[in-house]
Amino acid sequence: VLYLPLTMHNPVTISKKACFVLQAEVFPYPEIGNDELEEIKQLVAPVEKFFSDDVDSAKIDREATIPPETLQGLKDLGLFGIMIPEEYGGLGLSNTIYARLNEIIALDGSIAVTLAAHQAIGLKGILIAGNEAQKQKYLPKLASGEHIAAFCLTEPGSGSDAASIQTRATLSEDGKHYLINGSKIWISNGGMADIMTVFARTEVEVDGVKKDKISAFIVERAFGGITSGKPEDKLGIRGSNTCELSFDNVPVPVENVIGEIGGGFKIAMNILNSGRFSMGSSCAGMIKKLIELTSEYATTRKQFNKSLSEFGMIQEKFAMMALNAFVMESMAYLTSGMMDRPGIPDCSLEAAMVKVFSSEGGWICVSEALQVLGGLGYTKNYPFERFVRDCRILPIFEGTNEILRMYIALTGMQYAGKILTGKIKEMKKGNIGLAIGMVSKKLRASLGASVDLGLTGKDGVVHPSLETIVDEQLVLKRVADVLIHIYAMTAVLSRASRSISIGLRNHDHEVCTLCAHSYNSPENNDANIKKIAKQVLENRAYICSHPLERTY
């Protein structure tokens, strides 16, 4: 946990009085070596070429399917195994390079989701929690794309409330197989996946008591008993295959359990947490492309004898897009840089903040880009309406933004709670102790994580304002928003200071962007916005240097 808002007496006033401690990990901004930068440049080139020459996004959207040649091209490029280690046939690349490649892959939403469903969540379970035998057996074909993976957690009755899934896995009589029964919904790649990570309830014995806990299984379509429903007819990302999956007594060998029986939920949360951060770079890449497309139009279209780019309200839109792209890049690469450090750092909080900011910022930017083109943007002759439709899913999947805000705020509270309980004098025990117990259990269930929120210190002591905090969603929302904004400012400060120190191209533009973002006084801001917009429109592109760039 990076931040601890040391709250005062009333959580409602947190936005006015919060003080926070920044840990040293965010300054200086993470850097990669010259060799790795060289590698990235080389890797990015053919992917960019492929997406500009051989990907017909309009056709994919219209026909609601990715053509087999395009899919094969992606497999040949090696994009199905970016983070799988080389010994299993993948590229073994770091989180940072994965994020960088996602900037390009995001240009087509359907392809981005298909690839992410395959490697960011579908096979991640095997990667982070599988044993050597499972990795050797499954990863090579997944890396080459011969087999496609899917992540099967959500059910008709269990979306955000993932802990309540009903799919069951019962041990066969001979003890060699689990039989899985149930149905899953909204499964990306569900219609074409060969290998699925399926989560089901299993009966376990804990201290002699039989309990129902969730376990994770590697299920092959070849095991039989699996039926895919017809592909869902979606608003956006129409080329990505999404469908229902039914499991009817599917026999899964006991060797295919990922991790331990009963440990599935934690694995699910780890998988989801580790894939989120790349949404920052995906959205940034998409917005940068939109800036290019939109500025072309704004500088040539004339009304009232002036080109659109001369009007303040249009300039504001460009400044906003450039700003958002800047912040998203900064946050994404700060997070990936931290994740790439040795050891296994837990960046789930930061990843959640990146996801919330990027999904909402992306939605706004895409809408404003369409607005610049007016009526033309509303037609299918231009790609803007497709970007809008594709982006609408971002605040919904990979953890809805509402749930993630709860997670962000409560994790912060937990940390604060730990600090507070150490300092607050003992209060009455007894009744409060019981109430606290209930609150903790409720929290655990609603978040789905078995997390000790520390709201109860030793002897059941807790600050009275934090007792019922779980139900105060509106308060928590404000806390989360503050935290996300703080992280965004930190990322931007860290990146801009590095840019100035090493003299990256256009670092003064970065400082301008930083000020426009972080210091929100209208008088200062108008000048900054005009300045940013002028440079973006002159160059007809986003002009900040990439945060991974080096000058030495």
Partner 1 sequence: MSGRVLVGVKRVIDYAVKIRVKPDNTGVVTDGVKHSMNPFCEIAVEEAVKLKEKKLIKEVVAVSCGPQQSQETIRTALAMGADRGIHVDVSGKDYENLGPLQVSKILAALAKQEDAQLILLGKQAIDDDCNQTGQMTAALLDWPQGTFASEVSLEGDKINLVREIDGGLEHIKINTPAVITADLRLNTPRYATLPNIMDSLMNNETELHKPNHRTSLCVGLIPLFETVAPEDMQGGTDRSGAMLRHTVLQSGKPKRIILSCLCI
CB of 316 to partner 1, least distance (A): 25
73/263 with CB nearer partner 1: 73
For position 47 contacting partner 1 by CB under 8 A, the verdict is yes
For position 104 contacting partner 1 by CB under 8 A, the verdict is no
Q: Are 206 and 224 in contact (CB under 8 A)?
A: no
Using alpha carbons, select from 443, 347, 363 the residue that is nearest to residue 403: 443
For position 91 contacting partner 1 by CB under 8 A, the verdict is yes
| Torsion sign, CA atoms 188, 191, 195, 198 | positive
Residue 115's CB: how many other CB atoms inside 10 A? 23
> How far is Cα of residue 546 from the mean position of the Cα atoms in its chain?
20
Out of 78, 145, 454, 460, point to the residue binding partner 1 (CB under 8 A).
78
Q: Take residue 139 and report the two structure tokens written for it.
A: 């990863």
Stretch of 32-40, 253-261, 350-358, 452-460 lying at the interface with partner 1 (CB under 8 A)? 32-40
Which are the contacts of 115, defined by CB distance < 8 A and separation ≥ 6?
Answer: 74, 79, 80, 105
Stretch of 11-19, 70-78, 112-120, 191-199 lying at the interface with partner 1 (CB under 8 A)? 70-78
Stretch of 78-86, 320-328, 354-362, 372-380 lying at the interface with partner 1 (CB under 8 A)? 78-86
Residue 20's CB: how many other CB atoms inside 10 A? 14
**Angle, CA of 118, 121 and 127, to the nearest 5°:** 95
Q: State the pairing for strand pair 242-253/226-228.
A: antiparallel
144/400 with CB nearer partner 1: 144
Which are the contacts of 243, defined by CB distance < 8 A and separation ≥ 6?
Answer: 187, 190, 191, 228, 229, 230, 231, 232
Which are the contacts of 241, defined by CB distance < 8 A and separation ≥ 6?
Answer: 65, 114, 188, 189, 190, 191, 192, 231
78/454 with CB nearer partner 1: 78
CB of 41 to partner 1, least distance (A): 7
Helix (H, G, I), strand (E, B) or coil at 303: strand
Stretch of 49-57, 227-235, 397-405, 484-492 lying at the interface with partner 1 (CB under 8 A)? 49-57
Stretch of 76-84, 219-227, 302-310, 397-405 lying at the interface with partner 1 (CB under 8 A)? 76-84
Out of 15, 23, 52, 501, point to the residue binding partner 1 (CB under 8 A).
52
Out of 388, 540, 544, 548, point to the residue binding partner 1 (CB under 8 A).
540
Distance of alpha carbon 15 from alpha carbon 180, whole angstroms: 48
For position 442 contacting partner 1 by CB under 8 A, the verdict is no
For position 45 contacting partner 1 by CB under 8 A, the verdict is yes
Out of 32, 66, 79, 462, point to the residue binding partner 1 (CB under 8 A).
79
Bond prior to 28 in cis (omega within 30° of 0): yes
Residues 469-508 that bind partner 1 (CB under 8 A): 505
Out of 25, 31, 39, 161, point to the residue binding partner 1 (CB under 8 A).
39
The verdict on whether 398 is a catalytic residue reads: yes
Binding positions for partner 1, rule: CB under 8 A? 35, 38-39, 41-43, 45-47, 49-50, 52, 73, 76-79, 82, 91, 505, 540
Q: Please give the positions annotated as active site.
A: 398
